[in-house]
Amino acid sequence: MKQSDILYGAGTLLTLASCATVSAASKDSTPKRPNILVIVCEDISCYLGCYGDSVAITPNLDRFAKESVRHTRMFTCVGVSSPSRYSLITGRYSSTDGANYMRSNYFDKDFEVVPPAGVKCFTEYLRQAGYYCTNNSKTDYQFVSPLSAWDESSPKAHWKQAPEGVPFYAVFNLNVTHESMIWKNSEAELFVKPSDVVLPPYYPDTEVVRHDMAVMYSNITRMDTQFEQLYEELVAADKLENTIVIFYSDNGGPLPRGKREIMDSGTRVPFMIRFPDGYRAGTTNDALNMFVDIPATILSLAGVPIPANMHGKAMYGTQRDKPRKYVFGATDRFDEQVEKRASIRDKRYLYIKNYMPQQSVYRPNKYRLQMDMMRNMEELSVAGQLNDVQNAWFEIPSGDEQLFDCKKDPYNVHNLVPEKRYAGVLRRMRQAFKQEWIEKYNRKWVSYKESDFVREMNPEGKKPQCPSPEYKLKDGRLIITVDPDYSVVYKSASSQNWSLYSGPVPLKQTDGTLSIVVCRIGYRNSPQLDIDLF
């Protein structure tokens, strides 16, 4: 077995952290943990040259793909950001926890999703293990980011602020590819000609559609440049060879029938991971994976135990899990528009169950209708000028079920449910959907409305509050006691950032006043407790 297979596989006593120092183990018996840099763009499907898109101009990401493992079957749970980001920070299915509504505070600005007891932002476990965690700077988790989640979370947050010798976990969010940039950059320079765009069969061939697709590709080119700038910062700082670099999009899209969908056009996204020693560089990974797997994978790569309450499976590292047989998806509410559909997909087939078949799959979302292309398609549908494939998204009623052969039909336009020769596949997917998705994770989701989740999370009609901590000073150390479902942060008067409490804190004469706060996802913080130490 190759050394890299041991480092990135399962059942080993080594941690991936030793990958950059294994040859020097005789000099230093304490292996360093790897730095981890995550670069997230917004709202793109696999519109990259390295994924076979002949129109995309993405030279930097194409070059990065040659140094990385490129995943071909990475899926989000729903084709929109906030529920997806809930999964990305907790490692749990958003539909299971009542976090699948876009956004949770749409009707009540003070409401936040309250996960089950014990669920925490996975970055907290990294911080406990000694990582300096930074986020620049989007959160959008369906809850306000708790003080325990990050060392820094702001537009100025950067791994460069990590103390010397401390490993970092850093996230940068690139929003130039966001859906809104289709209309905001409508008059900006185009790097792709509208005439060069290749239209999927569900789009009409109009000047408006071609223009907005060209804008999308041009935004992706801008993002490609931003990616390279962040990557080169690592190179310039001589950090690359002890840093794992990950790139992905937060959901599919950004065009109509992409974003917000649970067909492949909305949930399948690019995902690439570069390892410091070149492990499997330039290869592909065709295993089925989901966003809930990303937190588990990062913890595994960092040598940090994966909490039992996570739904995800580690793709790499010392806790690598068995490959998935299925990935799942669900939709609920997108801003003012409500729908309820869910899906299960294996490597070939996609099955979708529609719980609101009396309406069209297309929803006239006000936010999306700011896009010229969306208005153009809606107008053509009303005028009866779309063909059957293009109009299927707008049809009323929309039908109870859909089954697609994703190998023969990558655009998911031919519903196989009526075809008798697929009766066996349909039966298998229905059964798996019921057993693996509904019964395991979503019994509540089937019967609950959003208001039911809200009442359950805020039973007294208001946000719950964290209790004040108990503390004592003993032998020159501060010892804090609180229920493990909560987290504690503290800082001195001279500190700008909150530190995460993970054990007794040695006190110094210079500390003066120490402030303590108890926090928990979806809860109000405890009142700040200020302790005069000396």
Whole-angstrom Cα distance, residue 391 to residue 203? 9
Interval 410-459: pLDDT, tens: 999 999 999 999 999 999 999 999 999 999 999 999 999 999 999 999 99
Which amino acid is located at 337 in the chain?
Q
Distance separating alpha carbons of residues 121 and 142, to the nearest angstrom: 12
Measured torsion, CA atoms of residues 96, 100, 106, 112, in degrees rounded to the nearest 10: 40
> Which residues, including other chains, have CB under 8 Å from residue 219's CB and lie 6 or more apart?
176, 177, 181, 182, 185
Angle (deg, nearest 10), helices 372-382 and 207-236: 150
Helix, strand or coil, per DSSP, at residue 328: strand
Angstrom distance (rounded) from CA 517 to CA 529: 6
Distance CA 442, CA 367 (A): 29
Sign of CA dihedral 282, 288, 290, 294: negative
Q: Which residue has the tokens 């609920």?
A: 332
CA angle 357, 362, 365 (to 5 degrees): 125
Residue type, 414: H
Q: Which residues of the chain have pLDDT under 70?
A: 1-7, 9-31, 509-510, 534
Q: Give the pLDDT of residue 512.
A: 83
How many beta carbons lie within 10 A of that of residue 161, not counting itself? 15
Rounded Cα distance, 55 and 200, in Å: 13
Residue 404 to residue 317: CA distance in whole angstroms: 33
Structure tokens at 338: 């409500």
Q: Output the pLDDT for position 30.
A: 47
At 531, give phi and psi (nearest 5°): -110, 125
Q: State the DSSP string of 201-242.
A: TTS---HHHHHHHHHHHHHHHHHHHHHHHHHHHHHHTT-GGG
Q: In 366-489, which residue ranges form alpha helices assigned H by DSSP?
A: 372-382, 388-391, 423-432, 439-441, 443-447, 450-457
Residue 230 contacts residue 219 (beta carbons within 8 Å): no
192-197 long-range contacts (CB < 8 A, ≥24 apart) are 192/55, 192/56, 192/57, 192/217, 192/218, 192/221, 196/55, 197/55
At 27 the pLDDT is 37
Predicted pLDDT at 100: 98
CA–CA separation, 200 vs 172, rounded Å? 31
Return the number of other C-beta atoms located less than 10 Å from residue 53's C-beta.
17
d(CA 181, CA 300): 35
Amino acid at 171: V
pLDDT of residue 493: 86
Which pLDDT value is given to residue 9? 63
Structure-derived torsion over alpha carbons of residues 42, 44, 46, 48, reported in degrees to the nearest 10: -80
Q: Are strands 243-249 and 35-41 parallel, antiparallel or unpaired?
A: parallel
> What span, in angstroms and rounded, lies between the C-alpha atoms of 338 and 456?
20
pTM above 0.85, yes or no: yes
Domains and CATH numbers, the chain: 3-324 (3.40.720.10), 330-457 (3.30.1120), 470-532 (2.60.40.10)
pLDDT at 19: 39
* pLDDT tens digits, one per residue of 213-247: 999 999 999 999 999 999 999 999 999 999 999 99
The answer to whether 39 touches 246, Cβ cutoff 8 Å, is yes
Q: 230 CB contacts (<8 Å, ≥6 apart)? A: 37, 39, 172
Label the pairing between strands 132-136 and 152-153. parallel
* Predicted confidence (pLDDT) per residue in 373-385, tens digit: 999 999 999 999 9
**DSSP code of 511?**
G
State the pLDDT at residue 5.
60
Residue 157: name the closest of 141, 143, 139 by CA.
139
